[in-house]
Amino acid sequence: TSSKLFQKEASFLAQMTILMALLSCDLFPVVEQLPTITAQTSGSLIALPYDENFLFKCDAKGNPRPTYRWTKDGMDFDSHKDSRLIIEESSGTFLLPNTKEKTKYQGKYRCYASNKLGTAISEESEFIVPMVPKFPKEKTEPVVVTEGDSVVLECNPPQGIPPWQLYWMTNGNLRHIEQNERVSMGLNGNLYFSNTLVSDSRDDYCCFASFSRIRTIVQKPLFKTASCFFGKKPSILVPSSHSTTYIKKGEELELECIAEGLPTPGVEWIKMLENLPTRTQIKNYGKLLTISNVTDQVEGTYMCKAKNDLGEAEHHFQVVVEEPPSWQEEPVKSQLAEIGSDIHIKCSARGKPQPTITWKRNGQPLDDFPSTNYKVLDDRIIILRAEQRDTAVYQCEASNRHGTLLVNANVLVMNHPPLILTQNYLEYATMLGKSVIMDCRVFSSPPATINWRREDPEGSLDGERYSLLKNGSLQIHKVEMEDMGQYKCLANSSEGTMSLTTELFIKDSTRIVEPPQDMKVKRGSMAELECQVECDPTLRRELEILWMKDGMNILSNFSEGYFTDDGILQIVNVSHSDQGNYTCVVRTSLDQDTASAYITVLDVPAPPVQLTLSELKDRSVRLQWVAASDHNSPITEFIIQYEENHWEPEKWKEIIRVAGSQFSAPLTLYGHINYQFRVIAVNAIGRSHPSMPSKRYKTPPCAPDRNPENIKIEGHLPHQMDISWEPLLPVEHNGPGLEYKLSYRLLGVEDSWKEQMMKRHSFVVRDTQTFVPYEVKIQAFNSHGWAPEPRVVTGYSGEDLPLAAPEDISVEVLNSTLLRVSWSPVPQTALRGHLGGYTVHWWQTQSLLNSKRIPSERQSLTIPGNRSHTMVPGLKPFSEYSLTVNIFNRRGNGPSSSPISFTTPQGVPEQPPILRATNFQKDSITLVWAPPHETNGFLTGYLLQYQTGMMLTDLSHVTSAISVNFI
């Protein structure tokens, strides 16, 4: 519940600004405050060479304003007297520039912030200026060892700023010394040989130390080794660690056990009476046990056991986990006490070893302040019958060998009449049914009694809806209309009385009446969310509508691509990053309401990942993959494609499709192909981008799997046969040297095959007989063998024009325009090719109406296939015709039959083209018409008809125009 002024905003904000300034020290300036450290430098401050300067920070608050001083190694350090230091006058902070003289500033620093009431101190910080590490100059003699014995090359690295790294290399070619079960570097940097070989002899062993923070690498003088004699003897484990290891909680435990012996011993680790902790790691070929972030459970006894064929040895480590000091409960850092009361300051800490507690007052040992009213009981101080002079900052330090905790406890002893810190008159507004808190913060010593009462109208504040908070404020739960009015807060103590008046107003709540709705949108499209709001009319001008995405303000963090206007949020060109939970926040100074909707972005899937090949065989492989995000639309299938880098490099072809629930597929492969594969995921939105290609897999060569298909046998000329076929695809060659063997022979005549080897995929057989059948087969061959036995196909040699015409032509006139024609088929021997069909030709010779000869205009009708009759339509009535028939094959037409003549009978005349009515009289009209263009026979007369209403009546048959009289 928020409570702010709903009117007179400018005046209220100005007063609140003044109030916050007055309360910057928690109380009005008339109340004095002890110093409190607010910012400080603690821990170690290392002067690295690339830093420009070094910050010693110390800020504090208090009333009066604190003054500052520093100590270095327990002695006063006046920063103002050193011209090299950069001083911040408003605080105790100073900067030390990175100069050559910085070494003299090494030491432990502490800041003191003081005013007339007391002194607060900072934690101690140490300024460290690291020296450049160097190995001592020394002359090393060659190490002589018997082959099979152990040897240690000592590094003894110089001390430096961690982290640091040690490694052994050969100085000649700067190669790392290879480490294994026999040779390894210990935690101390020494190089251990569990046993030696003649090959270990060299004169350039060198230990390097790298200090990354100061960007320095140093080198130890060279070691020389030599071996003499030859022999083998086993020896026992050489432990390189103390029996008891103390480690701080949270650090990493390292236990090392390096053994000597021949054969090289193996090392085994055991924790006595229980299993090794879960975070245990065994490193350095079994010689190093590490446990990160140790806890109390790591404590115990560990044993390493080294064994070879000749014996074993053991070493035990006792691990003790300790921890730095920590507070059992956070100490109270500020106390206000009245004069004459008893004050308890508790400082209870835990740690291992148990921390030692020391007490100070204003930064000085408590023993320097002899007093009869102090009692120190280890972790607490009791101040009996406190007086105003007991006002001070009391320090408690809890220390063990792992660290120190410091707390400053401000104790202010005084009597003061009640002082209401809240502004004297405030107005509050809230919503019906909400809660409101009306402030009444009081400073008083001794503490004041706080009471509230209604002023306007007068009334009781008893009941469950009213609560008096610990800070003196009044809370009203589930506000009702009758709660509106004036309230007074009264603060009473033995030192005096003070009061505060406030006023409460009640407003209509702000609410979302139409919230945004969940939606699914495709990537690249536009999304629109709407949020309609109602609020109290007096708050309309201050109503604010904000949009949040996943808890972050959109306009502050995601402005690009988002547009808002009067409760509407538009997202243009939706991308995957736009998916999430969108919240509409509507608020005024008094309340707010929220509503959320989730936008799901749909897109094609992400490409599959982690393509692997398994079950590798000569002609097959299994491809496996992992599906990536489906972008909110389930994957329906996967498309597997392949590419080979010989025939068509970088051209991808589909090999198989599998269901979206499958994540592997067996692939059948061709021989002698260098494959790689990729996978495309498909969902309802579309296809993903292809995955990254798999590793290549090359199949061995083999004989072809199949023979050519779609064999065509054609005769373009009478005495030859053209044979062609569909060649094998390049990937189907299965190996180098692909050729085709063409075999052919006359069907039913020849027993032996004529054969021809060729690389092309067509061949012409010449000097054949006309249109005779042949058997043909084609077999693929490469350097690794033959394809399976091919199938035999039958075809014919080249065709020639037919030799004969159809015979026994007969016609049957069915009516004046339709004719039926029949004939006898031409013998196969005269056809000389594949039967195409027959062609009927006819033409009109004369009209029987006037015996006039008509120029020949041929018409034809093609009848495909082996038929011997057809219907000829579209003849003209009362005419004489001639007709012939011929056969045809693929080569062309044969000769025509002898013409046969026939006549068609008379037919129905065409309708008169003109009919007009003229000379309209009372009882007659004159009809005039023109004769038909085609009479289709001898014209005998005209039939005239008329109708009245629905009756149709014949007048008469006439042979010329007549007048018709209507009676």
Q: Distance between CA atoms of 460 and 469, rounded to whole angstroms?
A: 17
Is residue 438 packed enough to be buried (19+ CB in 10 Å), middle (13-18) or exposed (0-12)? buried
Domain boundary among 205, 228, 251: 228
Lowest mean pLDDT, pick from 16-30, 423-437, 675-689, 921-935: 16-30
Domain boundary among 109, 128, 147: 128
pLDDT digits (tens, 9 = 90+) for 819-848: 999 999 999 889 999 999 999 999 999 988
209 against 291, higher pLDDT: 291
Structure tokens at 675: 């494959």
| Within-domain flag for 122 | yes
Number of domains composing the chain: 9
| Within-domain flag for 914 | no
Mean pLDDT of 607-614: 96
Alpha carbons within 13 A on the beta-carbon side of 817? 7
Q: What is the DSSP string of 894-917?
A: -PPPPPEEEE----PPPPPS-EEE
For 596-610, b/e burial (b = at least 16 CB within 10 A) is: ebebebbbbbbbbee
pLDDT digits (tens, 9 = 90+) for 637-648: 999 999 999 999
Same domain, 344 and 388: yes
Same domain, 221 and 235: no
* Residue 576: predicted pLDDT: 92
Domain boundary among 228, 252, 271: 228
| Within-domain flag for 55 | yes
Cα–Cα separations (whole angstroms), residue 232 to 46, 147, 184, 344, 597: 51, 7, 20, 74, 78
Could you tell me which residues come within 8 angstroms of residue 871 by beta carbon, excluding any fewer than 6 positions away? 814, 818, 819, 820, 821
- For residue 828, the surrounding DSSP H or E stretch is helix 828-831
| Within-domain flag for 879 | yes
* Residue 9: predicted pLDDT: 36
Mean pLDDT of 417-436: 85
13 against 88, higher pLDDT: 88
| Within-domain flag for 672 | yes
Structure tokens at 281: 């790691």
Per-residue pLDDT at 12 exceeds 80: no
Q: Would you say 665 and 694 are in contact if contact means Cβ atoms under 8 Å apart?
A: no
| Within-domain flag for 589 | yes
The dihedral through the CA atoms of 463, 469, 470, 473 has a sign that is: negative
| Within-domain flag for 252 | yes
Same domain, 352 and 281: no
Mean pLDDT of 873-901: 94
Same domain, 396 and 357: yes
| Within-domain flag for 8 | no
Place of tokens 């008891």: 244
pLDDT averaged over every residue in the chain: 88
Local confidence band at 31 (pLDDT 50, 70, 90 cut-offs)? confident
Helix (H, G, I), strand (E, B) or coil at 539: helix
234 against 683, higher pLDDT: 683
Same domain, 632 and 578: no
Per-residue pLDDT at 705 exceeds 90: yes
CATH number at residue 493: 2.60.40.10
Per-residue pLDDT at 586 exceeds 80: yes
Could you tell me which residues come within 8 angstroms of residue 291 by beta carbon, excluding any fewer than 6 positions away? 252, 253, 277, 279, 280, 281, 298
Same domain, 410 and 423: no
Our CA angle for 917, 919, 924, nearest 5°, is: 85
566 against 808, higher pLDDT: 808
Lowest mean pLDDT, pick from 35-44, 232-241, 323-332, 744-753: 232-241
The gap from C-alpha 353 to its chain's centroid, in whole angstroms, comes to 49
Same domain, 456 and 443: yes
Same domain, 215 and 250: no
The residues with which 862 forms a beta bridge, in sequence order, are 839
Local confidence band at 599 (pLDDT 50, 70, 90 cut-offs)? very high
pLDDT digits (tens, 9 = 90+) for 220-276: 655 555 444 333 464 545 565 567 889 999 999 999 998 888 899 999 999 998 999
Mean pLDDT of 362-374: 86
Same domain, 336 and 369: yes
Could you tell me which residues come within 8 angstroms of residue 762 by beta carbon, excluding any fewer than 6 positions away? 722, 723, 724, 725
* Residue 762: predicted pLDDT: 95
- For residue 11, the surrounding DSSP H or E stretch is helix 9-22
The dihedral through the CA atoms of 895, 899, 900, 905 has a sign that is: positive
Structure tokens at 644: 């080979």
Domain extent at residue 598: 511-602
* Residue 952: predicted pLDDT: 57
* Residue 223: predicted pLDDT: 52
The dihedral through the CA atoms of 456, 459, 464, 470 has a sign that is: positive
* Residue 715: predicted pLDDT: 87
Same domain, 335 and 317: no
Q: Distance between CA atoms of 367 and 295, rounded to whole angstroms?
A: 38
* Residue 966: predicted pLDDT: 34
Lowest mean pLDDT, pick from 26-40, 72-86, 177-191, 919-933: 26-40
Same domain, 402 and 421: no
Q: What is the DSSP string of 457-500?
A: S-----STTEEE-TTS-EEESS--GGG-EEEEEEEEETTEEEEE
Same domain, 498 and 522: no
pLDDT digits (tens, 9 = 90+) for 518-531: 999 999 999 999 99
pLDDT digits (tens, 9 = 90+) for 943-952: 998 887 655 5
